[in-house]
Amino acid sequence: MKEYLRIVQNILENGVEKLDRTGVGTIGITGERFQHNMSQGFPLLTTKKMAYKSVKVELEGFIKGITNKKWYQENGCHIWDEWCNPKKVPYSHDGETKKKMLEEQDLGPIYGFQWRHWNADYVGEQTDYTRKGVDQLEQMIDKLKNKPNDRRIIVSSWNPEQLDQMALPPCHLLYQTIVQSGKLDLIWYQRSVDTMLGLPFNIASYATLLHLLAKEANLKEGTLTGFLGDTHIYLNHIERSEEQLKREPLQLPEIITENFTSIWNWTHNNTKIVNYQSHPAIKFEIAV
């Protein structure tokens, strides 16, 4: 995707260096926009090989409101391995704490909990939260089906009352759907953007969510837009980001979901990417 590479180029040319929470350091810019028309193909990065299974497993976990790290791991998604509920293990950089964070299974009231159980009292990852809190995703789908012209079809993950219990405060903290001429557009806002590791993943995840919501509401797929706040590249990613910029984007793949009955019954196994071709993987170290 040339749009993604444009953002990378802009950061490398105009980014300002600063320290960050992880201690690694970044160069970054303030306020970027990513936009993609879904009719042009599924926006899965082709200038490096992407692990799409992790994308769809995490999204399934969010849709189901799962906060148990083990569930994600058993389904082949290891994105959350290094983090946990800071009430169980307070965040720190030392080796002993990192080991305890790896072992703790409770992620706290992260994204999916807020999507499905907004502000319900959080007890732990094994608790049944059925019909507790506000089901924002259910409300979104109901409006898409019954009030598609509503300008308030929004899901927020940013809950100030529960930030101190979350494995990580939400980076992509809000998304909105807009229906235009029978097409579903999705916009998300992201406060903090790890451009080389996180952003390609976020793009693919929200594109998949747009795809599923469109199916659920019997709409066509429209435009995916991301408004990006602190958009940065970690200093230890710069060399390989320059390598990626030299690669020519390939044709985008297609997304196919089989046996779809409802988003509530959907699993990651129902969805696949076809005709995906990419350049080889590029290893970027994660900053914890």
pLDDT tens figures, 139-186: 999 999 999 999 999 999 999 999 999 999 999 999 999 999 999 999
In the chain, pLDDT over 90 holds for what percent of residues? 94
Task: Please tell me the distance from the alpha carbon of residue 194 to that of residue 200, in angstroms, as a whole number.
Answer: 9
- pLDDT-derived band of residue 283, with 50, 70 and 90 as boundaries? confident
Q: What is the pTM of this model?
A: 0.96
Residue 171: active-site member: yes
Query: Which of 171, 197, 238, 256 is the catalytic position?
Result: 171
In the chain, pLDDT over 70 holds for what percent of residues? 99
Q: Which of the pair, 145 or 93, is modelled with greater confidence?
A: 145
Question: Is residue 260's pLDDT more than 80?
Answer: yes
pLDDT of 131 reads 95
Q: What's the chain's average pLDDT?
A: 96
Average pLDDT over residues 84-112: 95
- pLDDT-derived band of residue 117, with 50, 70 and 90 as boundaries? very high
Average pLDDT over residues 125-150: 97
pLDDT of 22 reads 82
Interval 100-110: pLDDT, tens? 999 999 999 99
Q: Which CATH class is domain 2-50+136-274?
A: alpha beta
Q: What is the DSSP annotation of the chain?
A: -HHHHHHHHHHHHH-EEE--TTSS-EEEEEEEEEEEEGGG-----SSS---HHHHHHHHHHHHHT--BHHHHHHTT--TTTT---TTTS---SSHHHHHHHHH--B--S-HHHHHHHBTPPP--TTS--TT-SB-HHHHHHHHHHH-TT-S--EEE---TTTGGGSSS--SEEEEEEEEETTEEEEEEEEEEEETTTHHHHHHHHHHHHHHHHHHHTT-EEEEEEEEEEEEEEEGGGHHHHHHHHTSPPPPP-EEEE-S-S-TTT--GGGEEEES---PPP---PPP-
Amino acid (one-letter) located at 51:
A
pLDDT of 288 reads 63
**Residue 181, class by beta-carbon neighbours within 10 Å (0-12 exposed, 13-18 middle, 19+ buried)?**
exposed
Interval 16-57: pLDDT, tens? 999 988 888 999 999 999 999 999 999 999 999 999 999 999
- pLDDT-derived band of residue 246, with 50, 70 and 90 as boundaries? very high
Average pLDDT over residues 59-86: 97
pLDDT of 21 reads 82
pLDDT of 116 reads 98
Interval 28-37: pLDDT, tens? 999 999 999 9
